[in-house]
Structure 1
Amino acid sequence: MNTVLVTSTGESTGKTAITLALGLLAKERGLDVGYMKPKGTRLQSSTGKTLDEDPMLARELLDIDAEMHQLEPVVYSPTFIQGAIRGKENNEELSEVISHHFDDLSADKDLMLVEGGGSYRTGGIVDLTDADVASLLDAEVVLVADYSHPSDLDDLVAAVEDIGSDRLAGIVFNRVNDSVYDELETEVAPFLEARNVPVLGVVPAEKDLAGVTVQELADELGADLATDAPTDAFVERFLVGAMGGDAALRYFRRTKDAAVITGGDRANIQRAALEAPGVKCLILTGGHRPVGAVIGKAEEKGVPVLLVTGDTLSVTDRAEDIVSTGRTRDERTVERMRDLLFEHADVDAIIGGIEPSNETDGDDE
């Protein structure tokens, strides 16, 4: 049985989609695949109740017969972290619990996929970073990373050193924009491979995997649409409008694929946002309906206006959470990532040497 742990240099790198896509590719090769996420980090509240959708999606897509407490034995909630700081968590016992459930889940499997926490460092306070988990479970490590600038390599090299060259299978760069794709393949990859760090894949950015549509955002926020404008544009980031009109316009013009969040009574900011080509929608807080001139301008520009009742800070937090998690947790996204890995990554280097253990011979009659 082989074990592969998929970790990342930071949060929201597409780690879940890549982990499950590898599972689909392995199943297509006839392998019996298991899954585990030792540290649940996507939680509903600080009380420890988990709503982590990753193991639930894995259970469905990979046809895994297991309970949530097995797939996700450590609920890494704020309450858990506070307890660990106060000495209420026993590191050795936690490791034993993970090992116990891993042994049950991996029985008769050809390949075990282990998904890391928020980043490779998550779990350090209880000696359960992803490097620690890899050592505990004797796993090879695939490190998922973003890349937009050469300075990103500092964090990447630090992660490689923490994981160790003896465990690292290689790097998969995900969501790589066209502007840096050639640089990554012709300069960065050779640089890393010269340091004995294999680059297993350079996966291009896919717009429909990078954000959420305005309609999806409206549905998740429970927003009312104040305009008759198309809602199929993608939003990848949020800008909070809290400055004067001239400063706001300069600020908004420096971005793309953004939603501007501001009070429904801030007409000057709303007008400035509508002048910026990179603004795809307005989210107006406080339950205030904008003046008619703003609605008219928005419809003329084809920019939808969403009305929500919450305050700007809470709406911004909720919207960012939707973008960072919402597009990587559905079957369609995983299937698209399966295609991208097949086309742009060395899947054989990860799972190619594993043979199915449950093949049956043909009848001898």
Structure 2
Amino acid sequence: MGVLYIAGTSPHCGKTALVAGLALALHRHGKAPIALKPVASAEDADNAFFRHLVADPPALDGLPTPLPADGVLPARATEALRALAQGSRPLLLEGLDSVLLGSQGQASTALVEATSARVVLVVPYRPDLRAEDLESARSHFGQRLLGVLVNWVWRYHGHRAHAQIAPALERAGLRVLGLVPEDRVLSAPTVAEVARCVEGEIRLYPEKGDALVEAIMVGGWALDEGQYVFSRHARKAVVVRADRPDLHLAALATSTTCLVLTGGVEPVQYTVYEAEQTGTPLVWTRLSTLAALQRLEGVAGLATARVPEKARRFADLLAQHADLPALQSALLD
């Protein structure tokens, strides 16, 4: 079967999301891919996520392997990769953060050569993105480069991306495999990430730590009735003092992913009962409401791609905004 090596121009550009999304897209077509980050620690979180996501992961002897200082992969790891590449299942490899520099660049070349992989380069969108910015990557991978996927196209920049940037890349000989737009689901933190951000603990329904938070609201004084105010956003976290059951109940009557109870006091039983009835996690923190909100200002930038719902969403976006047949064909040859 075919092999795709998912490379990126920078960390956090969307490599994990693309590997997971492609794996699910293949599953939807009855295939059983292998998804792997071959150069990583044994406890790497991406590989743990891939094992959870992909049915029947194979036993891997010698993989993953830590990055050697000289970039030369151990023979045992190289042999294991060749065996996987020659097997009957499509192979998706998540690349290193830098495909060009030092030991990471050397290891990237070794991975591609050992598996005869085609390379997909994931590029974060910029309004001034030019083919010249990607020339070094094209020279590095040569004929192995299948194409470029531009990720996280800003809202209201779709026309510019389609009418100017993609044609310019194509004229320069770079195949554009997709223009994937920014998406609220993909940028959403989980309840567990919100809890860590506010130094809190999930007191109720900790098993829902992977639930996504698409908006953050504060429980405070408002001229309108509380339930009306909280109904403005769905799948939200409401940051509110733990001693305000009136606001808790109003928020719980709407689409709320979790309550973040601040101030370090215990909530009353009315709140706990309603949260139990609605299946809503309660995050408890000693921070004040203001301090918790300040901590949460940057939580979207900490959000991980390692959530099954995000993988499903990225697979949907690939079907809508990428040349999915070309990507699948490279894996099924």
- Does TM-score exceed 0.5, indicating one fold? yes
TM-fit CA distance, 1:201: 0.5
TM-fit CA distance, 1:327: 2.7
Among 152, 160, 174, the alignment partner of 2:151 is 174
Among 189, 192, 204, the alignment partner of 2:169 is 192
Is the 2:149–2:179 Cα contact (8 Å) retained in structure 1?
A: yes
TM-fit CA distance, 1:58: 1.1
Q: 1:351 to 1:326 in 2, by over 3 A?
A: same
Q: Which runs of 5+ in 2 are unaligned?
A: 202-212, 218-262, 264-287
Among 157, 164, 168, the alignment partner of 2:135 is 157
Q: Which amino acid aligns with 2:183?
A: E
Aligned equivalents of 2:109, 2:44: Cα separation in 1: 21
Give per-residue Cα distances to partners, 1:332-357, cap 9 Å, x unaligned: 1101101000111101111136659x
Aligned equivalents of 1:62, 1:3: Cα separation in 2: 16
TM-fit CA distance, 1:90: 7.7
Is the 1:34–1:106 Cα contact (8 Å) retained in structure 2?
A: no
In structure 1, the residue matched to 2:199 is 223
TM-fit CA distance, 1:69: 6.2
TM-fit CA distance, 1:13: 1.2
Give per-residue Cα distances to partners, 1:63-98, cap 9 Å, x unaligned: 24335764412x23xxx5xxx2xxxx682xx25233
The alignment status of 1:305 with 2:290, answered yes or no, reads yes
Aligned equivalents of 2:216, 2:6: Cα separation in 1: 28
In structure 1, the residue matched to 2:58 is 66
Q: Which amino acid aligns with 2:135?
A: V
In structure 1, the residue matched to 2:20 is 20
Aligned equivalents of 1:54, 1:352: Cα separation in 2: 25
In structure 2, the residue matched to 1:103 is 82
Aligned equivalents of 1:110, 1:217: Cα separation in 2: 34
In structure 1, the residue matched to 2:93 is 114
Is the 1:58–1:64 Cα contact (8 Å) retained in structure 2?
A: no
SS in structure 2 of the partner of residue 128 of structure 1:
helix
Aligned equivalents of 2:37, 2:185: Cα separation in 1: 26
Aligned equivalents of 2:104, 2:95: Cα separation in 1: 15
The alignment status of 1:133 with 2:118, answered yes or no, reads no
TM-fit CA distance, 1:157: 2.9
In structure 1, the residue matched to 2:215 is 233
Aligned equivalents of 2:312, 2:120: Cα separation in 1: 19
Aligned equivalents of 1:307, 1:26: Cα separation in 2: 41
Aligned identity (percent) is 24
Which stretch of the first structure deviates more once superposed, 95-104 or 149-158?
A: 149-158
SS in structure 1 of the partner of residue 88 of structure 2:
coil
In structure 1, the residue matched to 2:269 is none
In structure 1, the residue matched to 2:48 is 56
> How many equivalent residue pairs?
253
TM-fit CA distance, 1:51: 3.2
TM-fit CA distance, 1:59: 1.3
Q: 1:348 to 1:95 in 2, by over 3 A?
A: farther
Q: State the TM-score, normalized to the length of structure 2.
A: 0.65
TM-fit CA distance, 1:121: 3.0
Aligned equivalents of 1:198, 1:232: Cα separation in 2: 33
Is the 1:208–1:234 Cα contact (8 Å) retained in structure 2?
A: no
SS in structure 2 of the partner of residue 201 of structure 1:
strand
TM-fit CA distance, 1:22: 0.8
Among 334, 343, 346, the alignment partner of 2:320 is 343
TM-fit CA distance, 1:15: 0.9
TM-fit CA distance, 1:192: 1.0
Aligned equivalents of 1:159, 1:178: Cα separation in 2: 27
Which aligned pairs between 1:193-342 and structure 2 lie closer than 5 A? 193-212=170-189, 216-223=192-199, 233=215, 304-306=289-291, 323=300, 326-342=303-319
TM-fit CA distance, 1:106: 4.0
Q: What RMSD, in angstroms, separates the aligned Cα atoms of the two structures? A: 3.4
The alignment status of 1:148 with 2:126, answered yes or no, reads yes
Q: 1:232 to 1:189 in 2, by over 3 A?
A: closer
TM-fit CA distance, 1:175: 1.1
The alignment status of 1:3 with 2:31, answered yes or no, reads no
Is the 2:35–2:91 Cα contact (8 Å) retained in structure 1?
A: yes
Q: State the TM-score, normalized to the length of structure 1.
A: 0.60
Q: 1:119 to 1:305 in 2, by over 3 A?
A: farther
Is the 1:6–1:142 Cα contact (8 Å) retained in structure 2?
A: yes
SS in structure 2 of the partner of residue 24 of structure 1:
helix
Aligned equivalents of 1:10, 1:142: Cα separation in 2: 14
TM-fit CA distance, 1:167: 0.8
